[in-house]
Amino acid sequence: MNEVAELSKKLRLPGEAPHLAEAFTHRSYAVEHDLAYDNQRLEFLGDAVLEIIQTEYLFRRCPEATEGQLTKLRSALACEGALAEWARRLELGTLLKVGRGEEDNGGAARRSTLADLFEAVLGAVYLDLGMAAAREFVLPLLESTLGDPDDLLLELNPKGRLQELTQRIFGGTPQYLVLGVSGPQHQPVFKVEARAGGWVTVGDGTSRKHAESRAAAQLYRYLSEFSSK
């Protein structure tokens, strides 16, 4: 079995994708072996294809989300960490060809390298097999990662989500109060209170902002449950 057929089979693609050989060629390997190609151009293409697939998916999956919320969700699902995790799940790093120097410095285990590799592979799938195959490649990963869109939005911006909710329920914004700071000076722990409409929650964290976010997330969950009854 030739290299392309083997790669296509491992990725369970609906056909052979000749550009996969290029997608799995890191620039360091191309330089060491004097190759005329590497996966950077496919990475560029894959990034654009991914944005289209994610945008369409979120548009259909979250019919009540605003443009701003959709943008935040797409950014979270397209971040380097998310793409690297998808690459790990598919074991793409084990197939990447890297140069000796790159391998000594972490090689395909690096998050940035894995994220770029995922986009390059997606670019190859799109180029060789079309958009339908690209969607089939990405959508299961998106679905498993997104979960409840509201939970992800809350994780991304708990204070903003809480403010939207309190304005709707109480016609006002939440208030935050630092209750205290404990621990050593080099590693403080902040305790912050979040209050709205007579409801109060407390959160702690290694910074005031972190503590406020935790208190806001907890208060949002309480008020969401209250307002749904």
For residues 219 and 176, give the distance between their C-alpha atoms in angstroms, rounded to a whole number: 11
Q: What are phi and psi of 178, to 5 degrees?
A: -75, 120
What phi and psi, each to the nearest 5 degrees, are found at residue 60? -80, -35
Q: How far apart are the first and last CA of the chain?
A: 61
**Integer-rounded Cα radius of gyration of the chain:** 23
Instruction: Write out the two tokens for 1.
Output: 């079995």
Map residue 198 onto helix, strand or coil. Answer: coil
User: Burial code of 172-204, b = ≥16 C-beta within 10 A, e = fewer?
Assistant: eebebeeeeeeeeeeeeebbbbbbbeebebbbb
What is the set of active-site residues? 47, 119
Contact (CB, 8 A) for 133 and 125: yes
Query: d(Cα 102, Cα 81) in Å, to the nearest integer?
Result: 20
Q: Give the count of beta carbons closer than 10 Å to the beta carbon of residue 141.
A: 18
